[in-house]
Chain A
Protein backbone atom coordinates (compact mmCIF):
# COMPACT_ATOMS: atom_id res chain seq x y z
CA UNK A 1 0.00 0.00 0.00
CA UNK A 2 1.76 3.10 -1.25
CA UNK A 3 0.11 5.35 1.32
CA UNK A 4 1.65 3.36 4.13
CA UNK A 5 5.12 3.43 2.61
CA UNK A 6 5.02 7.22 2.43
CA UNK A 7 4.42 7.32 6.15
CA UNK A 8 6.15 5.88 9.18
CA UNK A 9 9.67 6.21 10.53
CA UNK A 10 12.76 6.07 8.34
CA UNK A 11 16.23 6.10 9.85
CA UNK A 12 19.38 6.69 7.82
CA UNK A 13 22.73 5.77 9.39
CA UNK A 14 25.62 7.70 7.82
CA UNK A 15 25.34 11.49 7.35
CA UNK A 16 27.46 11.96 4.27
CA UNK A 17 26.88 12.00 0.51
CA UNK A 18 24.65 8.92 0.22
CA UNK A 19 22.76 9.71 3.44
CA UNK A 20 21.97 13.29 2.39
CA UNK A 21 20.93 12.44 -1.18
CA UNK A 22 18.70 9.63 0.08
CA UNK A 23 17.03 11.94 2.62
CA UNK A 24 16.26 14.51 -0.10
CA UNK A 25 14.96 11.87 -2.48
CA UNK A 26 12.65 10.40 0.17
CA UNK A 27 10.93 13.79 0.46
CA UNK A 28 10.92 14.30 -3.31
CA UNK A 29 9.15 10.96 -3.59
CA UNK A 30 6.48 12.06 -1.17
CA UNK A 31 7.60 10.58 2.14
CA UNK A 32 5.77 12.48 4.89
CA UNK A 33 6.79 10.44 7.93
CA UNK A 34 9.59 11.09 10.40
CA UNK A 35 13.15 11.02 9.15
CA UNK A 36 16.25 10.72 11.33
CA UNK A 37 19.82 10.85 10.04
CA UNK A 38 22.53 9.55 12.36
CA UNK A 39 26.18 10.39 11.73
CA UNK A 40 29.25 9.86 13.89
CA UNK A 41 31.15 12.83 12.49
CA UNK A 42 30.26 16.06 14.29
CA UNK A 43 29.90 17.91 10.97
CA UNK A 44 26.95 18.26 8.61
CA UNK A 45 27.45 16.35 5.32
CA UNK A 46 30.46 17.51 3.34
CA UNK A 47 32.17 16.53 0.11
CA UNK A 48 35.32 14.38 0.26
CA UNK A 49 36.90 14.56 -3.24
CA UNK A 50 38.20 18.15 -2.73
CA UNK A 51 40.09 16.99 0.38
CA UNK A 52 42.86 15.33 -1.63
CA UNK A 53 42.82 18.03 -4.32
CA UNK A 54 41.88 21.70 -3.64
CA UNK A 55 42.38 21.39 0.13
CA UNK A 56 45.86 19.85 0.04
CA UNK A 57 46.85 22.39 -2.59
CA UNK A 58 45.94 25.10 -0.10
CA UNK A 59 43.27 26.59 -2.38
CA UNK A 60 40.39 26.11 0.02
CA UNK A 61 39.96 25.43 3.72
CA UNK A 62 39.27 21.87 4.84
CA UNK A 63 36.04 22.95 6.53
CA UNK A 64 34.64 24.75 3.47
CA UNK A 65 33.36 21.71 1.56
CA UNK A 66 29.86 21.37 3.06
CA UNK A 67 27.50 19.72 0.58
CA UNK A 68 24.65 21.86 -0.69
CA UNK A 69 21.15 20.48 -0.21
CA UNK A 70 18.90 20.00 -3.24
CA UNK A 71 16.03 20.66 -0.85
CA UNK A 72 15.71 20.66 2.91
CA UNK A 73 14.84 17.07 3.79
CA UNK A 74 13.20 18.13 7.05
CA UNK A 75 15.12 15.53 9.02
CA UNK A 76 16.33 15.23 12.57
CA UNK A 77 20.13 15.25 12.32
CA UNK A 78 21.81 13.32 15.12
CA UNK A 79 25.40 14.25 14.48
CA UNK A 80 28.45 13.25 16.49
CA UNK A 81 26.89 10.01 17.69
CA UNK A 82 27.84 6.56 16.44
CA UNK A 83 25.43 3.73 15.76
CA UNK A 84 26.80 0.76 17.69
CA UNK A 85 24.33 -1.94 16.85
CA UNK A 86 21.17 -2.97 15.08
CA UNK A 87 18.30 -4.98 16.50
CA UNK A 88 16.46 -6.25 13.40
CA UNK A 89 13.67 -7.86 15.42
CA UNK A 90 12.89 -4.88 17.65
CA UNK A 91 13.71 -2.61 14.67
CA UNK A 92 16.05 -0.39 16.60
CA UNK A 93 19.34 1.31 15.92
CA UNK A 94 21.44 1.37 19.08
CA UNK A 95 23.55 4.47 19.69
CA UNK A 96 26.84 5.02 21.50
CA UNK A 97 25.19 7.43 23.94
CA UNK A 98 22.96 4.60 25.19
CA UNK A 99 19.85 5.76 23.36
CA UNK A 100 18.14 3.90 20.57
CA UNK A 101 16.06 4.96 17.58
CA UNK A 102 13.14 2.92 16.27
CA UNK A 103 12.60 2.53 12.53
CA UNK A 104 10.10 1.06 10.13
CA UNK A 105 12.65 1.19 7.31
CA UNK A 106 16.40 1.66 7.63
CA UNK A 107 19.05 2.86 5.18
CA UNK A 108 22.65 1.88 5.85
CA UNK A 109 24.99 4.51 4.39
CA UNK A 110 28.02 4.20 6.66
CA UNK A 111 30.57 4.22 3.85
CA UNK A 112 34.22 3.49 4.45
CA UNK A 113 37.15 4.75 6.50
CA UNK A 114 40.85 4.87 5.72
CA UNK A 115 42.70 1.62 6.32
CA UNK A 116 45.07 2.37 9.20
CA UNK A 117 48.76 1.46 9.29
CA UNK A 118 48.99 -2.09 10.63
CA UNK A 119 51.24 -1.29 13.61
CA UNK A 120 49.29 0.89 16.05
CA UNK A 121 52.37 2.28 17.83
CA UNK A 122 53.94 3.32 14.56
CA UNK A 123 50.63 4.75 13.35
CA UNK A 124 50.49 6.90 16.48
CA UNK A 125 53.78 8.68 15.68
CA UNK A 126 53.36 12.41 15.25
CA UNK A 127 53.48 13.07 11.52
CA UNK A 128 51.72 9.87 10.39
CA UNK A 129 48.37 10.58 8.71
CA UNK A 130 45.50 8.97 6.84
CA UNK A 131 43.09 10.96 4.66
CA UNK A 132 39.35 10.36 4.75
CA UNK A 133 37.71 13.14 6.77
CA UNK A 134 37.84 16.92 6.70
CA UNK A 135 39.64 16.85 10.04
CA UNK A 136 42.31 14.55 8.54
CA UNK A 137 42.66 16.94 5.60
CA UNK A 138 42.92 19.98 7.87
CA UNK A 139 45.73 18.46 9.94
CA UNK A 140 47.63 17.18 6.91
CA UNK A 141 47.37 20.50 5.07
CA UNK A 142 48.70 22.32 8.10
CA UNK A 143 51.71 20.00 8.11
CA UNK A 144 52.29 20.48 4.38
CA UNK A 145 52.14 24.24 4.83
CA UNK A 146 54.87 24.03 7.47
CA UNK A 147 57.25 22.90 4.69
CA UNK A 148 58.32 19.34 5.47
CA UNK A 149 61.60 18.15 3.95
CA UNK A 150 59.99 15.05 2.50
CA UNK A 151 56.60 13.34 2.55
CA UNK A 152 56.33 9.56 2.31
CA UNK A 153 53.10 8.34 0.74
CA UNK A 154 52.36 4.64 1.25
CA UNK A 155 50.06 3.30 -1.47
CA UNK A 156 49.79 4.26 -5.14
CA UNK A 157 46.03 4.20 -5.58
CA UNK A 158 44.02 7.26 -6.60
CA UNK A 159 44.19 8.92 -3.19
CA UNK A 160 47.92 8.25 -2.72
CA UNK A 161 48.67 9.53 -6.23
CA UNK A 162 46.58 12.67 -5.71
CA UNK A 163 48.42 13.36 -2.44
CA UNK A 164 51.79 12.93 -4.18
CA UNK A 165 50.60 15.27 -6.93
CA UNK A 166 49.55 17.96 -4.45
CA UNK A 167 52.89 17.70 -2.64
CA UNK A 168 54.87 18.16 -5.86
CA UNK A 169 52.73 21.09 -6.86
CA UNK A 170 53.56 22.68 -3.52
CA UNK A 171 57.26 22.05 -4.17
CA UNK A 172 57.55 19.38 -1.48
CA UNK A 173 59.79 16.36 -2.02
CA UNK A 174 57.77 13.16 -2.01
CA UNK A 175 58.46 9.44 -2.06
CA UNK A 176 55.64 7.11 -3.03
CA UNK A 177 55.98 3.45 -2.06
CA UNK A 178 53.77 0.85 -3.72
CA UNK A 179 53.95 -2.89 -3.23
CA UNK A 180 52.50 -3.64 -6.69
CA UNK A 181 54.21 -3.09 -10.03
CA UNK A 182 53.01 0.50 -10.45
CA UNK A 183 50.64 3.26 -9.35
CA UNK A 184 46.93 2.88 -10.20
CA UNK A 185 47.56 -0.67 -11.46
CA UNK A 186 44.87 -2.07 -9.18
CA UNK A 187 42.22 0.14 -10.73
CA UNK A 188 43.40 0.59 -14.31
CA UNK A 189 45.71 -2.34 -15.12
CA UNK A 190 49.23 -2.40 -16.55
CA UNK A 191 49.08 -0.03 -19.55
CA UNK A 192 47.72 3.04 -17.80
CA UNK A 193 49.85 2.25 -14.77
CA UNK A 194 52.88 2.77 -17.03
CA UNK A 195 51.52 6.18 -17.98
CA UNK A 196 50.92 7.03 -14.31
CA UNK A 197 54.43 5.93 -13.33
CA UNK A 198 56.01 8.02 -16.11
CA UNK A 199 53.89 10.98 -15.10
CA UNK A 200 54.89 10.75 -11.45
CA UNK A 201 58.60 10.51 -12.26
CA UNK A 202 58.36 13.40 -14.72
CA UNK A 203 56.91 15.47 -11.91
CA UNK A 204 59.76 14.58 -9.60
CA UNK A 205 58.07 11.93 -7.45
CA UNK A 206 60.57 9.44 -6.04
CA UNK A 207 58.50 6.40 -7.02
CA UNK A 208 59.38 3.05 -5.47
CA UNK A 209 57.38 0.12 -6.80
CA UNK A 210 57.57 -3.55 -5.90
CA UNK A 211 58.63 -2.71 -2.35
CA UNK A 212 56.87 -2.92 0.96
CA UNK A 213 57.30 -0.60 3.88
CA UNK A 214 58.51 -2.76 6.72
CA UNK A 215 58.56 -0.24 9.58
CA UNK A 216 57.86 3.40 10.36
CA UNK A 217 60.61 4.97 12.46
CA UNK A 218 60.60 7.74 14.99
CA UNK A 219 60.72 8.55 18.65
CA UNK A 220 57.38 10.17 19.27
CA UNK A 221 57.81 11.98 15.99
CA UNK A 222 57.95 10.25 12.61
CA UNK A 223 61.43 10.44 11.08
CA UNK A 224 61.43 7.85 8.30
CA UNK A 225 60.64 4.36 7.13
CA UNK A 226 62.39 1.13 6.23
CA UNK A 227 61.68 -0.52 2.89
CA UNK A 228 61.85 -4.22 2.06
CA UNK A 229 64.72 -3.64 -0.41
CA UNK A 230 66.91 -2.57 2.51
CA UNK A 231 66.69 1.15 1.79
CA UNK A 232 65.56 3.80 4.22
CA UNK A 233 63.49 6.91 3.52
CA UNK A 234 64.05 9.98 5.69
CA UNK A 235 60.83 12.01 5.86
CA UNK A 236 58.89 14.08 8.37
CA UNK A 237 55.40 13.32 7.16
CA UNK A 238 53.93 9.95 6.24
CA UNK A 239 50.52 9.50 4.63
CA UNK A 240 49.12 5.99 4.77
CA UNK A 241 46.94 5.67 1.65
CA UNK A 242 46.32 1.94 1.66
CA UNK A 243 42.72 1.91 0.63
CA UNK A 244 39.49 1.83 2.56
CA UNK A 245 37.75 -0.35 5.11
CA UNK A 246 33.95 -0.69 5.07
CA UNK A 247 32.19 0.59 8.18
CA UNK A 248 30.19 -2.55 8.84
CA UNK A 249 31.41 -3.60 12.30
CA UNK A 250 28.38 -2.06 13.96
CA UNK A 251 26.29 -4.62 12.05
CA UNK A 252 28.19 -7.65 13.37
CA UNK A 253 25.23 -8.90 15.41
CA UNK A 254 22.52 -7.77 13.03
CA UNK A 255 22.25 -11.00 11.06
CA UNK A 256 22.94 -9.25 7.76
CA UNK A 257 25.29 -10.28 4.96
CA UNK A 258 27.71 -7.60 6.12
CA UNK A 259 31.47 -8.03 6.07
CA UNK A 260 34.76 -6.47 5.03
CA UNK A 261 33.56 -6.02 1.44
CA UNK A 262 30.40 -4.23 2.47
CA UNK A 263 26.75 -5.01 3.02
CA UNK A 264 25.39 -7.23 0.26
CA UNK A 265 22.15 -6.07 -1.32
CA UNK A 266 20.03 -6.83 -4.37
CA UNK A 267 19.83 -4.61 -7.44
CA UNK A 268 17.06 -2.70 -5.64
CA UNK A 269 19.37 -1.87 -2.69
CA UNK A 270 17.58 -4.21 -0.25
CA UNK A 271 20.09 -5.81 2.11
CA UNK A 272 20.54 -9.57 2.26
CA UNK A 273 20.53 -11.31 5.58
CA UNK A 274 23.22 -13.82 6.51
CA UNK A 275 21.31 -16.64 4.82
CA UNK A 276 21.19 -14.79 1.52
CA UNK A 277 17.50 -13.92 1.94
CA UNK A 278 16.59 -10.40 0.96
CA UNK A 279 15.14 -8.18 3.72
CA UNK A 280 12.07 -6.00 3.32
CA UNK A 281 13.00 -3.06 5.48
CA UNK A 282 16.78 -2.67 5.46
CA UNK A 283 18.38 -0.90 2.50
CA UNK A 284 21.97 0.05 1.76
CA UNK A 285 23.65 2.60 -0.54
CA UNK A 286 27.02 4.16 -1.28
CA UNK A 287 30.51 2.95 -0.42
CA UNK A 288 29.08 0.53 2.18
CA UNK A 289 27.07 -1.44 -0.39
CA UNK A 290 27.94 -4.54 -2.39
CA UNK A 291 25.53 -5.18 -5.23
CA UNK A 292 25.11 -7.37 -8.31
CA UNK A 293 25.50 -5.81 -11.76
CA UNK A 294 24.12 -7.44 -14.91
CA UNK A 295 26.79 -5.89 -17.17
CA UNK A 296 29.47 -7.66 -15.17
CA UNK A 297 27.97 -11.14 -15.05
CA UNK A 298 25.99 -10.31 -11.94
CA UNK A 299 29.12 -10.32 -9.84
CA UNK A 300 28.78 -8.32 -6.66
CA UNK A 301 30.54 -4.93 -6.96
CA UNK A 302 31.89 -2.76 -4.16
CA UNK A 303 32.47 0.78 -5.39
CA UNK A 304 34.16 3.78 -3.84
CA UNK A 305 32.71 6.21 -6.31
CA UNK A 306 31.07 9.55 -5.66
CA UNK A 307 28.61 9.13 -8.53
CA UNK A 308 27.56 5.70 -7.33
CA UNK A 309 26.82 7.02 -3.84
CA UNK A 310 24.42 9.55 -5.40
CA UNK A 311 22.60 7.28 -7.85
CA UNK A 312 22.40 4.32 -5.50
CA UNK A 313 21.05 6.52 -2.70
CA UNK A 314 18.37 7.81 -5.06
CA UNK A 315 17.33 4.30 -6.09
CA UNK A 316 17.33 3.08 -2.48
CA UNK A 317 15.19 6.02 -1.36
CA UNK A 318 12.75 5.52 -4.22
CA UNK A 319 12.40 1.84 -3.38
CA UNK A 320 11.96 2.55 0.34
CA UNK A 321 8.75 4.42 -0.38
CA UNK A 322 7.51 2.46 -3.41
CA UNK A 323 5.47 -0.74 -3.53
CA UNK A 324 7.12 -3.73 -5.12
CA UNK A 325 5.96 -3.31 -8.76
CA UNK A 326 7.18 0.30 -8.82
CA UNK A 327 10.66 -0.46 -7.52
CA UNK A 328 13.68 0.32 -9.68
CA UNK A 329 16.99 -1.47 -10.15
CA UNK A 330 20.32 0.28 -9.65
CA UNK A 331 21.93 -0.37 -13.02
CA UNK A 332 24.06 2.73 -13.53
CA UNK A 333 27.40 2.01 -15.15
CA UNK A 334 30.16 2.91 -12.64
CA UNK A 335 31.88 6.24 -13.38
CA UNK A 336 34.89 7.62 -11.54
CA UNK A 337 37.16 10.64 -11.93
CA UNK A 338 40.49 11.69 -10.51
CA UNK A 339 42.68 14.69 -11.16
CA UNK A 340 46.39 14.47 -10.61
CA UNK A 341 49.55 15.97 -12.11
CA UNK A 342 47.39 18.28 -14.19
CA UNK A 343 45.53 15.41 -15.88
CA UNK A 344 41.86 14.58 -15.74
CA UNK A 345 41.42 10.81 -15.55
CA UNK A 346 37.93 9.38 -15.87
CA UNK A 347 36.77 5.82 -16.01
CA UNK A 348 33.49 4.22 -17.00
CA UNK A 349 32.61 0.58 -16.49
CA UNK A 350 34.87 -1.80 -14.56
CA UNK A 351 38.45 -1.75 -15.94
CA UNK A 352 39.43 -4.64 -13.68
CA UNK A 353 36.75 -6.76 -15.34
CA UNK A 354 38.89 -7.20 -18.43
CA UNK A 355 41.43 -9.40 -20.14
CA UNK A 356 42.56 -7.00 -22.85
CA UNK A 357 43.03 -3.29 -23.41
CA UNK A 358 43.55 -1.17 -26.49
CA UNK A 359 44.39 2.53 -26.87
CA UNK A 360 41.47 3.58 -29.06
CA UNK A 361 42.23 7.31 -29.36
CA UNK A 362 45.18 9.52 -28.55
CA UNK A 363 48.43 8.10 -27.21
CA UNK A 364 50.47 7.54 -24.08
CA UNK A 365 53.07 10.04 -25.32
CA UNK A 366 50.56 12.84 -25.72
CA UNK A 367 49.04 12.01 -22.31
CA UNK A 368 45.68 12.35 -23.97
CA UNK A 369 43.95 9.11 -24.74
CA UNK A 370 41.06 6.74 -24.46
CA UNK A 371 41.88 3.21 -23.33
CA UNK A 372 39.15 0.66 -23.99
CA UNK A 373 38.97 -2.54 -21.96
CA UNK A 374 37.45 -5.82 -23.10
CA UNK A 375 36.49 -9.09 -21.53
CA UNK A 376 35.97 -12.16 -23.71
CA UNK A 377 35.29 -10.07 -26.77
CA UNK A 378 33.03 -7.36 -25.42
CA UNK A 379 33.71 -3.87 -24.14
CA UNK A 380 33.54 -3.61 -20.35
CA UNK A 381 35.27 -0.31 -19.55
CA UNK A 382 36.94 2.80 -20.91
CA UNK A 383 39.35 5.24 -19.32
CA UNK A 384 39.90 8.74 -20.69
CA UNK A 385 42.91 10.89 -19.93
CA UNK A 386 42.13 14.52 -20.79
CA UNK A 387 39.47 13.33 -23.23
CA UNK A 388 36.44 13.36 -20.93
CA UNK A 389 34.07 14.36 -23.72
CA UNK A 390 34.36 10.84 -25.13
CA UNK A 391 33.31 9.08 -21.97
CA UNK A 392 29.62 9.07 -22.83
CA UNK A 393 30.24 7.49 -26.21
CA UNK A 394 32.11 4.58 -24.67
CA UNK A 395 29.53 4.27 -21.93
CA UNK A 396 27.02 3.56 -24.68
CA UNK A 397 29.27 0.82 -26.05
CA UNK A 398 29.55 -0.76 -22.61
CA UNK A 399 25.81 -0.61 -22.03
CA UNK A 400 25.13 -2.36 -25.33
CA UNK A 401 27.88 -4.97 -24.79
CA UNK A 402 29.55 -3.85 -28.03
CA UNK A 403 32.26 -6.12 -29.43
CA UNK A 404 35.87 -5.67 -28.33
CA UNK A 405 38.11 -4.36 -29.78
CA UNK A 406 36.00 -1.43 -30.99
CA UNK A 407 35.96 -1.07 -34.77
CA UNK A 408 38.75 1.07 -36.25
CA UNK A 409 37.90 4.71 -35.88
CA UNK A 410 34.83 3.80 -33.91
CA UNK A 411 34.65 7.15 -32.25
CA UNK A 412 36.05 9.88 -34.44
CA UNK A 413 37.07 8.34 -37.73
CA UNK A 414 40.70 8.01 -36.74
CA UNK A 415 42.46 4.66 -36.97
CA UNK A 416 43.11 2.77 -33.78
CA UNK A 417 46.43 3.88 -32.45
CA UNK A 418 47.50 0.56 -31.05
CA UNK A 419 46.05 -1.84 -33.55
CA UNK A 420 46.54 -4.86 -31.35
CA UNK A 421 44.90 -5.25 -28.00
CA UNK A 422 47.31 -6.29 -25.29
CA UNK A 423 46.65 -8.03 -21.96
CA UNK A 424 45.15 -5.61 -19.49
CA UNK A 425 47.36 -6.95 -16.67
CA UNK A 426 45.07 -6.44 -13.76
CA UNK A 427 46.88 -7.88 -10.75
CA UNK A 428 45.40 -9.63 -7.75
CA UNK A 429 44.66 -6.82 -5.24
CA UNK A 430 46.26 -8.93 -2.50
CA UNK A 431 49.68 -7.96 -3.85
CA UNK A 432 49.04 -4.23 -3.77
CA UNK A 433 49.20 -1.45 -1.19
CA UNK A 434 46.19 0.21 -2.78
CA UNK A 435 42.87 -1.37 -3.58
CA UNK A 436 40.92 -0.92 -6.76
CA UNK A 437 38.09 1.58 -6.29
CA UNK A 438 35.83 -0.91 -8.05
CA UNK A 439 36.17 -4.36 -6.54
CA UNK A 440 34.62 -7.48 -8.00
CA UNK A 441 33.66 -9.48 -4.95
CA UNK A 442 32.30 -12.74 -6.35
CA UNK A 443 28.76 -13.98 -6.66
CA UNK A 444 27.43 -14.94 -3.28
CA UNK A 445 25.56 -12.22 -1.40
CA UNK A 446 26.10 -13.81 2.01
CA UNK A 447 29.84 -14.41 1.77
CA UNK A 448 31.35 -12.48 4.66
CA UNK A 449 34.87 -13.20 3.50
CA UNK A 450 34.93 -12.82 -0.22
CA UNK A 451 37.41 -14.14 -2.70
CA UNK A 452 38.13 -11.68 -5.44
CA UNK A 453 37.88 -13.51 -8.70
CA UNK A 454 40.75 -12.38 -10.93
CA UNK A 455 39.53 -10.95 -14.22
CA UNK A 456 40.71 -14.03 -16.05
Chain B
Protein backbone atom coordinates (compact mmCIF):
# COMPACT_ATOMS: atom_id res chain seq x y z
CA UNK B 1 0.00 0.00 0.00
CA UNK B 2 1.09 3.53 -0.75
CA UNK B 3 0.35 6.84 0.95
CA UNK B 4 0.52 10.42 -0.10
CA UNK B 5 0.11 13.35 2.26
CA UNK B 6 -1.53 16.50 0.95
CA UNK B 7 1.08 18.85 2.34
CA UNK B 8 -0.83 21.90 1.15
CA UNK B 9 -3.37 20.93 3.81
CA UNK B 10 -1.11 19.39 6.47
CA UNK B 11 -0.62 21.75 9.40
CA UNK B 12 2.12 19.82 11.12
CA UNK B 13 -0.05 18.66 14.01
CA UNK B 14 2.12 15.53 14.14
CA UNK B 15 -0.60 13.10 15.22
CA UNK B 16 0.64 10.84 12.44
CA UNK B 17 4.18 11.04 13.80
CA UNK B 18 3.03 9.83 17.23
CA UNK B 19 0.90 7.04 15.78
CA UNK B 20 3.31 5.73 13.12
CA UNK B 21 6.80 7.04 13.87
CA UNK B 22 8.44 4.60 11.48
CA UNK B 23 6.56 6.09 8.54
CA UNK B 24 6.15 9.76 9.44
CA UNK B 25 8.73 12.10 10.90
CA UNK B 26 9.00 15.82 11.47
CA UNK B 27 12.00 17.48 9.96
CA UNK B 28 12.65 20.52 12.08
CA UNK B 29 9.60 22.03 13.77
CA UNK B 30 6.90 21.31 11.24
CA UNK B 31 8.12 19.97 7.89
CA UNK B 32 6.66 16.48 7.51
CA UNK B 33 8.68 13.76 5.80
CA UNK B 34 7.20 10.31 5.25
CA UNK B 35 7.78 7.06 3.44
CA UNK B 36 5.14 6.67 0.70
CA UNK B 37 5.65 2.88 0.47
CA UNK B 38 4.03 1.54 3.64
CA UNK B 39 5.54 -1.71 4.94
CA UNK B 40 2.87 -4.31 5.73
CA UNK B 41 3.67 -4.34 9.43
CA UNK B 42 2.96 -0.59 9.58
CA UNK B 43 -0.41 -0.69 7.84
CA UNK B 44 -2.56 -0.67 10.96
CA UNK B 45 -0.64 2.23 12.42
CA UNK B 46 -0.86 4.18 9.18
CA UNK B 47 -4.61 3.57 9.01
CA UNK B 48 -4.93 4.98 12.53
CA UNK B 49 -2.80 7.96 11.55
CA UNK B 50 -4.93 8.65 8.48
CA UNK B 51 -8.06 8.53 10.62
CA UNK B 52 -6.57 10.76 13.30
CA UNK B 53 -5.18 13.47 11.03
CA UNK B 54 -7.21 16.57 11.92
CA UNK B 55 -7.19 17.88 8.36
CA UNK B 56 -7.62 14.48 6.66
CA UNK B 57 -4.45 15.00 4.63
CA UNK B 58 -3.32 11.36 4.46
CA UNK B 59 -4.51 9.21 1.56
CA UNK B 60 -3.86 5.46 1.65
CA UNK B 61 -4.42 3.26 -1.39
CA UNK B 62 -3.10 0.86 -3.97
CA UNK B 63 -0.81 2.09 -6.69
CA UNK B 64 -1.81 1.80 -10.34
CA UNK B 65 -0.51 -1.56 -11.47
CA UNK B 66 1.20 -1.50 -14.85
CA UNK B 67 -0.73 -3.23 -17.58
CA UNK B 68 -3.89 -2.76 -15.54
CA UNK B 69 -7.14 -2.10 -17.22
Report the interface size class on chain A: 35 or more
Interchain CA distance A100-B66 in the complex, whole Å: 20
CB-nearest residue of chain A relative to B63?
A66
Contact between chains at A69 and B62 (CB < 8 Å): yes
A50 cross-chain contacts in B, Cβ below 8 A: 36
Is A307 among interface residues, defined by CB-CB distance under 8 A?
yes
Shortest Cβ distance from residue B16 to the other chain A in the assembled complex, whole angstroms: 14
Q: Which of A59, A68, A388 contacts B33 (CB 8 A)?
A: A59
A77-119: CB near B (< 8 Å → 1, else 0) gives 1010000000000000000000000000000000000000000
Is B11 among interface residues, defined by CB-CB distance under 8 A?
yes
Is A72 among interface residues, defined by CB-CB distance under 8 A?
yes
B31 cross-chain contacts in A, Cβ below 8 A: 339, 342-344
Contacts from A to B (Cβ < 8 Å): 20, 43-45, 47, 49-50, 53-54, 57, 59-61, 64-72, 74-77, 79, 305-307, 310, 335-337, 339, 342-344, 346, 368, 386, 388-389, 391
B1-28: CB near A (< 8 Å → 1, else 0) gives 1111011111110000000000000011
B29 cross-chain contacts in A, Cβ below 8 A: 342-344, 368, 386
Contact between chains at A344 and B28 (CB < 8 Å): yes
CB-nearest residue of chain B relative to A338?
B31
Contact between chains at A306 and B8 (CB < 8 Å): yes
Check A307/B63 contact, CB under 8 A, given A339-B27, A344-B28: no
Interchain CA distance A70-B27 in the complex, whole Å: 27
Q: Which of B28, B63, B66, B68 contacts A342 (CB 8 A)?
A: B28
Contact between chains at A77 and B61 (CB < 8 Å): no
Most-contacted residue by chain A among B2, B7, B8, B11 (CB, 10 A)? B8
Contacts from B to A (Cβ < 8 Å): 1-4, 6-12, 27-37, 59-69
Interchain CA distance A67-B66 in the complex, whole Å: 13
30 contacts between A and B (CB under 8 A): A43-B66, A44-B66, A45-B63, A50-B36, A54-B35, A57-B33, A59-B35, A65-B36, A66-B36, A66-B63, A67-B4, A68-B1, A68-B2, A68-B3, A68-B36, A69-B64, A70-B59, A76-B69, A77-B66, A77-B69, A306-B8, A336-B8, A337-B8, A339-B27, A339-B32, A342-B27, A342-B31, A344-B32, A346-B8, A388-B12
B10 cross-chain contacts in A, Cβ below 8 A: 388
Contact between chains at A66 and B7 (CB < 8 Å): no
Contact between chains at A66 and B2 (CB < 8 Å): yes
Contact between chains at B35 and A79 (CB < 8 Å): no
Shortest Cβ distance from residue A253 to the other chain B in the assembled complex, whole angstroms: 30
CB-nearest residue of chain B relative to A310?
B6
CB-nearest residue of chain A relative to B12?
A388
A310 cross-chain contacts in B, Cβ below 8 A: 6
